Structure 1
Amino acid sequence: MQMPLGQFLLRRLHEVGINHLFGVPGDFNLSFLEQTLQPSPIRFINNCNELNAAYAADGYARSNGLGAFVTTWGVGDLSALNGLAGAYAENIPVVHISGLPRLHAVNERALLHHTLVDGDYDNIGRCVAEFTVAQTRLTPANAVIEIDRLLQCCWLERRPVHLQLPSDITHLMIEVPTQPLCLMEPTSDPLQVERVISRLQAQWRPENSPVFLLDNDAVRFGVIDVIRTIAEKMAIPYAVLPSAKGIMDEDSALYLGVYAGQASLPTVSHAIHHSDCVIGVGLRLTDCNTGLFSQLIDNSRLISLRRFDVAIKGAQFPGVMLKELLTKLAEQVTDREARPLPPRPSLPLSTEAQTTFSQAYFWQAIQAFIQPEVIIFGEAGTAHSGASSLRLPAGARYHSQIIWGSIGFTLPALLGSQIAQPDQRHLLFIGDGSLQLTVQELSTLLQQRLTPIIFLINNRGYTIERLILGESSAYNDVNEWDYAKLPSVLDKGNHALSFIVDDIPSLHQALQAAENPNRDKAIFIEIRFSPLDAPPQLKQFAKRFADYDYGNCGPRNLNH
């Protein structure tokens, strides 16, 4: 059958589960955006800038599986590039649609606005190619093949793709297939799978004290449930890397905690370091995941299950797909009696009850406040340091961006996630410095009548940077805003309740209002701390990074 090219693109996006498109209108994408106003399966969400649109699509994909956003050529694409790079680094499948000038202008190298006025229409593609796994420029002749190819690549790699859509072809009729697009999972070599299963079963005997160590690919590639089945059948405890906080049940007796090398809690590091069979899933042993490369895991004890291959104590097995392998393993393993696990700490930040208002008191109060099935975003820095230490209740999820670490990410990402899951309770913990980068998206959030709970940690600047270097240096200061008034400034509709918290009674008053299950407004809570009040683990983290970044002769040591 025939249909307009742009409508076919929308249809394909919808068939792979995308129901919302984020972005900023520009003259080269307006013809496509018009098609979202017609009877369309996809609703367009207008963001305040392109970077925030990329962040929102990232957050949407984390809760939905896939996300998409649209920009205009040149200025819009480059504004969004940091968001694409973050999605690439964090393994987030995002479709970037760029509104390109009309085809004849591109072919004739016309000197148009939003270009470098040199006739080069390939430069943007070259830039974006560094941060995407597939790219294309659509024409009426290649549209069907290329749209399907890019969506398949996006899903296969769980990373962004870039699609250039010329402004004058969106309404042209093209011949399209009638069948929906099915995102296919690759299959394994069957003999290779059997070899791997045989070796695995020989390695994870009880006397080897096997333990799962999980990274984010476990959730990106949909194997959380099957890992849980194997762990429960075989009584194998599991830990997660910091980038994978919250992907597995933390209320399970098998959950050990977060492993970050020698920065881990003793019970967690003991379990990993004394196991003769560490079963890693999608491990990426980055600096932030390992306490600056302090992990004690060598290949002689490591089984590394990756998305498309397996390494068992250094022996490589290509052609083995992660989900297929684990599914077959789950069918073959038999129940095993659980081994006793070491006791876990009862509180994340301190085992002693806090009685004065501080970061320690705040995070203990939040531990009691969070509920099952909640979705939590923790901004890089102080917010993530505290939030990542929480013991999550059943069904709760936690999102951060600690690998790419672009501050300001979480507010627009929260918007995207709640657009994808509007009925789930969302919490955001973000610092004042980070908020100032992307605060505009609070406007979009309120315009969409979303009702998250936003905790703004106001410590008058970049506390994590102060702890690394420059405790009192002016470069770590940010201008003081009247933060509690931001919701009313950015939205006239009175769709938020604001609170200022600077002591214990005001904290509990704000939390009580936020707990109201029938509220129809967002909650914005500004929490004021002194600049150097921070969770203990952040102080340890900062010292490690200062030593690593600057060495023994760095300014930190010279100043002391």
Structure 2
Amino acid sequence: MPEIKVGDYIFTRLRQLGVESVFGVPGDYELALLDLIGDSGLSWKGNPNELVASYAADGYARINGIGAFVTTFGPGELSAYCGMAGHYAEYVPVAHIVGYPSVTAADSHAIMHHSLGNGIFDMYEKMAREITATTVVLRNKQTAAQDIDRALTIMVEQSRPVYIGVPTDMAYAPVSDEGLKTPIPTTLPPNDKATEQNAVAAIHEALEKAQSPVIVVDGNCARNNALQVTEELVKAAGLPYFVTAMGKGFNETLPNFGGLYGGGASYPEVKKAVESADVLLFIGRYANDFNTGEFTVKVNEKGVIDLQRFWLSIGDQKINVSMNHTLAALVDSVKKTPLSKTAKAVTWDPYPMKPEASGPLTQDFLWYAIGEFFQPGDLIIGETGTSAFGLGAAKLPKDTFMYNQTIFGSIGYATGAALGSFMAAQETGKFKRGILVTGEGSLHLTVQAFADLLRYNVKPIIFVLNNDGYTVERIIHGMEAVYNEVAHWDYSTLAHTFGPAFPSKYHGPIKTAEELTKLLQDPELREECFQLVEVKLDKHDAPLSVRLTGAAIDEFNKAQ
């Protein structure tokens, strides 16, 4: 029976799942394992630290479908756990591979470096169990292949991260390659036909009977790879449709698009349209505080049809069917028997009053101008905080995609994630430009990723919002507090510092609306190299959606 090394088995499986690049930081317990990466046709993309590696794997998985990174036992893996928690919260399928001390060392309870000095070696894995779909440490070559397949199958099925520990004396252990002949399933099994037909009939009937039905595309649509089939449904049904902040990235160019809904953070006409609907088909509802204007949503809950990865609910009834298969069947049903409803004229305009295009640069003009700068084929990543709120108002052109880490909300995430996403975009050819929008406070956490963006020839356009600290935090509490301040950097030198051998351009600091308008129209900004734009904003200024959310919360609290 042909044999293969355990390490080769892991990397071959990842390659079969479509992974081309593996991120990480070398450490002594994983070095021999890293030597095997190229054997399976994978490329090693080393990073300056494990946090950046975990964020990069996250961003890579959001575009490629699967991500992977390698760290070493102890400090290395612990440094990555912040990223892994984000994978878990946001349903991102990433394989975290950890180089372990040998099985012999663990069994003898030897005092090894990177341990806690007590001869115990499973404490880090126990921590990882809370932020992964499953964990496994490969201690037995007789079951190693099956353990790897089980973990990766769970990762794909649940769309969540998994943890695979590889002891140094297991990485090269021979195992049968027989399992590699059976592909790991990349789609969920079909629904029970009768159950699916009943579910689709119930949805179709509810939409047909409703007086003012709408479709709301939420965060778990993209995270369940349901964007394409949802677009087919929106076109076939012809109903008004809306996105949430977490649902940004769905096609917003169809004539029945109604805008961004986020409870009290919504524009008045959007709020009225969604909250007056008697039936709301939510695709992947994810009702978190950032996504609902701090829980100021006031929809007709009795009329909500919630379609999730493994189930849907209609009123009090819960039906076990998977999202993608059910949506496909619903599309067929609506095409066969079209709904009698038609979408009312959509009048939503993210900027009903165009911001002033002169004078000091404001948040309102910034987001309007950046929105106008976007073009088909853009991949846009926003940071937690001001960027996430501001970008929500931009109406995206066709064939663009946008995301941020809405749930876990780790500042600094976007820069590392942009590295992975933009690399995946290069590999897959899905997008033409990579655009990152981040605040300077967030950038300070993971600026080391600039080195990788430069050396791997990624060529992003990066907008850095320099507003003297954490603006969103200031709005929440402590407008003048010292803890909301950050260090002052010279952003004009960053690209040269992190990649002096690679071409780059700096633009700024941009302080006025006129300067920003001129820059965004400048062909130089569209040249292919690493480009950083520093925009200077008043620390007291905030996007309109932040102000609307604050006012809605105030009103809500007073009503209590």
Q: Under TM normalisation by the shorter chain, which class is it?
A: over 0.9
Structure 1 residues 480-499: aligned runs within 5 Å: 480-499=488-507
Separation (CA, whole Å) in 2 of partners of 1:99 and 1:350: 56
Q: Are the equivalent residues in 1 in contact too, given 2:149–2:184 (CA < 8 A)?
A: no
| Structure 2 residue aligned with 1:555 | none
* CA offset digits 1:481-527 (Å, max 9, x no partner): 1011111111121421011122345424543456655x331111111
| Structure 2 residue aligned with 1:370 | 374
- 1:225 counterpart (228, 232, 256): 228
Structure 1 residues 40-439: aligned runs within 5 Å: 40-138=40-138, 139-177=140-178, 178-183=180-185, 184-205=187-208, 207-246=210-249, 248-318=250-320, 320-333=321-334, 334-336=337-339, 339-348=342-351, 350-356=353-359, 357-422=361-426, 423=429, 424-439=432-447
In structure 2, relative to structure 1, the CA distance for the partners of 1:350 and 1:413 (3 Å cut) is: farther
Structure 1 residue 155, shift from structure 2 partner: 0.9
* CA offset digits 1:376-410 (Å, max 9, x no partner): 01111111221121000001111101211100000
SS in 1 for 2:23: strand
In structure 2, relative to structure 1, the CA distance for the partners of 1:547 and 1:331 (3 Å cut) is: closer
Backbone CA RMSD of aligned residues = 2.0
| Structure 1 residue aligned with 2:511 | 502
1:135 alignment partner AA: T
The more displaced of 73-82 and 171-180 is 171-180
In structure 2, relative to structure 1, the CA distance for the partners of 1:352 and 1:448 (3 Å cut) is: closer
1:105 alignment partner AA: A
2:538 alignment partner AA: S
Separation (CA, whole Å) in 1 of partners of 2:555 and 2:273: 27
1:469 is the counterpart of 2:473 = no
Identity %: 32
1:403 alignment partner AA: I
- 1:522 counterpart (525, 530, 540): 530
Separation (CA, whole Å) in 2 of partners of 1:221 and 1:445: 28
Q: Are the equivalent residues in 2 in contact too, given 1:12–1:180 (CA < 8 A)?
A: no
Structure 1 residues 520-559: aligned runs within 5 Å: 520-542=528-550
The more displaced of 222-231 and 363-372 is 222-231
Separation (CA, whole Å) in 1 of partners of 2:480 and 2:329: 57
Separation (CA, whole Å) in 2 of partners of 1:456 and 1:267: 31
SS in 1 for 2:463: strand
The runs of 5 or more residues in structure 2 that have no matched partner are none
SS in 2 for 1:63: helix
* CA offset digits 1:509-553 (Å, max 9, x no partner): 543456655x331111111112112222223335666899xx89x
Q: Are the equivalent residues in 2 in contact too, given 1:380–1:407 (CA < 8 A)?
A: yes
SS in 2 for 1:478: coil
* CA offset digits 1:182-202 (Å, max 9, x no partner): 324123222211221222222
SS in 1 for 2:288: coil
Structure 1 residue 50, shift from structure 2 partner: 0.5
* CA offset digits 1:243-283 (Å, max 9, x no partner): 1112x211111211121113212222222222221111221
The more displaced of 25-34 and 167-176 is 167-176
* CA offset digits 1:18-55 (Å, max 9, x no partner): 1111100000010111112x443111111111111110
1:511 alignment partner AA: L
In structure 2, relative to structure 1, the CA distance for the partners of 1:8 and 1:189 (3 Å cut) is: same
2:520 alignment partner AA: L
SS in 2 for 1:130: helix
The more displaced of 414-423 and 494-503 is 494-503
Structure 1 residue 327, shift from structure 2 partner: 1.3
* CA offset digits 1:200-236 (Å, max 9, x no partner): 2221116432211122221222222222222222212
Structure 1 residue 298, shift from structure 2 partner: 4.2
SS in 1 for 2:407: coil
SS in 2 for 1:466: helix
Normalised by the length of structure 2, the TM-score is 0.93
| Structure 2 residue aligned with 1:557 | none
* CA offset digits 1:350-398 (Å, max 9, x no partner): 4354322322222222122111110101111111221121000001111
Structure 1 residue 419, shift from structure 2 partner: 0.9
Q: Are the equivalent residues in 1 in contact too, given 2:504–2:531 (CA < 8 A)?
A: yes
Separation (CA, whole Å) in 1 of partners of 2:312 and 2:95: 28
* CA offset digits 1:149-195 (Å, max 9, x no partner): 11111111111111101112212221112515232412322221122
SS in 1 for 2:459: coil
SS in 2 for 1:125: helix
Separation (CA, whole Å) in 1 of partners of 2:523 and 2:9: 43
How many residues of Structure 1 are paired with residues of Structure 2 in the alignment? 546
* CA offset digits 1:82-110 (Å, max 9, x no partner): 10001111111111111111111112121
SS in 2 for 1:300: helix
In structure 2, relative to structure 1, the CA distance for the partners of 1:206 and 1:234 (3 Å cut) is: farther
The runs of 5 or more residues in structure 1 that have no matched partner are 553-560
In structure 2, relative to structure 1, the CA distance for the partners of 1:311 and 1:245 (3 Å cut) is: same
In structure 2, relative to structure 1, the CA distance for the partners of 1:542 and 1:514 (3 Å cut) is: farther
Structure 1 residue 469, shift from structure 2 partner: 1.3
Separation (CA, whole Å) in 2 of partners of 1:508 and 1:351: 14
